[in-house]
Each structure stands twice: as structure tokens, then as C-alpha cells.
A = this chain, B = another copy of it.
Amino acid sequence: MAFDLPETTYAVLGLLDKRPASGYDLAAFADRSLGYFWPISRTLVYRELARLESLGWVGSEPVPQDRLPDKRVWSTTEDGRGALASWLAQPAVAGGADRNGFLVKFFFGARMSQEAMRTLLDDYRESLEATRADLAALIEHLARIPDARMGRLSARHGLLTAEARLGWIDEVTAELAAPSHPRTSDTDPDGAFAADRHAVSVRTRQRFGHR
């Protein structure tokens, strides 16, 4: 079996397994669910559907519509459901890279003006609050649907993450408002985020080690 397909392929397969849908429909649905932790762009959906079809894991039938454009409705095949089950039985890939566009700037904050730093934090807070509100509404909605358990719990994962980060913003705001040292000199060559060599455990070995 081919397990070396991207996660996204299986994600599309899994969504179709929940309920048959057109490409457009699936993309919209993904955006309101999986998209919070695994974004799938609309165009990518069409490519994945083509791939899944060539694998024989999904099939489609045309559905004519009156006032709306005709569409193709996709659903999983027996093989597709088997492939999904195999994938689910396999352990998850480690990490998957938490890229955080905010932190990559914040990290270099010593070089920023106070005003720029405040804007950066404000923007981050705003986006986290929007996520929190979205997810809170979603969770409340899903609590009324008995079979939406996994979805509700996934959303809660996002909610708790957002709340923890909002708490972090409060901490940071407080600390940056009351500087313990007169001013951060930005000439110290060791003023950096990094452990001593010996203090590093798993990560470095994973990434730099040969396999």
C-alpha cells in the first residue's frame, strides 16, 4: 500500500468518507472544519480528487442542477475506505511543523521599535480572539450534534491553544511594559535564544542525526 502520499490526500479522502460532495462543496466544508489545523486550498482539492480517482479510491457521478451549474459528486469506493483505514491505523507523522508567522518576527523583537512591537502583539491578539470566537461558536453548535464528537474535540484543541496564547500575550505585555533592565543592549553577541549544546535533547538529534 502506498503510505507515502501527502496527508492532504488522505484528508480529502476522509472528508468524502464522511459525506459525498462536489469539489467546491468539499473545499468549503474543509475550510470550516479541517482548515483550522490543516488548510486545504480549493484548487488543491481538485488536484487531489483527480489523484484519488486515478488510484481508484473515489468515484464520481454527474449531478445536473437547474439554476446552478451542474456538478460532480464524489464518494469513496470500497478500495478508498480500505486505504483510509490503513492510513488511520498507521502512526501519525511526527510534528508536521508548527510554523508561526507571528513568532518568527517576535523572536527578532529586540531590533523593533516599541510601537512596532505593540502593533505586532495587537494583531496577533486580534487574530487569536477571532479564532477563539469562531471555535467557541463551533463547539457550542457541535455539542448539539451527537456524532460530531471528534470534530468538537478537534475544535476544542484549537480553542485551548488560542486561549493559552492569549494568556501568553498578557504575560508578555506585562513584562515588556516593566523592563527589569534599563534597556536591552543589542550588541551582546550571545543575547540569543539557544540552549547550550548539552542542554539539547531530542530535537537536535532527530534533525541532525543520520537515519
B-binding residues in A (CB < 8 A): 7, 10-11, 14, 17-19, 28-29, 31-39, 41-42, 84-85, 87-89, 91-113, 116, 119-120, 123-124, 127, 130, 133-134, 137-138, 141-142, 145-157, 160-161, 163-165, 167-168, 171-172, 175, 181, 184-186, 188-196, 199-204, 207-208
Look across to chain B and name the residue whose beta carbon is closest to the beta carbon of A204: B31
Q: Which 7 residue pairs of A and B lie closest in terms of their CB atoms, listed nearest first? A: A151-B193, A147-B191, A96-B101, A164-B164, A33-B193, A37-B100, A14-B108
B195 touches A141 (CB 8 A): yes
B196 touches A141 (CB 8 A): yes
Contact of A116 among B88, B108, B113 (CB under 8 A): B88
Look across to chain B and name the residue whose beta carbon is closest to the beta carbon of A156: B168
B190 touches A145 (CB 8 A): yes
9 more CB-based (< 8 A) A-B contacts, given A39-B97, A146-B184: A17-B111, A32-B200, A98-B99, A106-B157, A137-B195, A141-B199, A153-B171, A155-B193, A164-B164
B19 touches A149 (CB 8 A): no
- Can you give 15 contacting A-B residue pairs, CB < 8 Å? A18-B192, A28-B204, A33-B193, A37-B98, A38-B104, A41-B207, A88-B112, A91-B120, A92-B123, A134-B201, A137-B201, A145-B191, A146-B184, A147-B184, A160-B167
A112-B89, A185-B147 in contact; A193/B134 too (CB < 8 A)?
Answer: no
Assembled-state Cα–Cα distance A106/B112 (Å): 39
A137-B195, A195-B138 in contact; A208/B14 too (CB < 8 A)?
Answer: no
- Minimum C-beta distance from A123 to chain B (A): 6
Assembled-state Cα–Cα distance A115/B100 (Å): 32
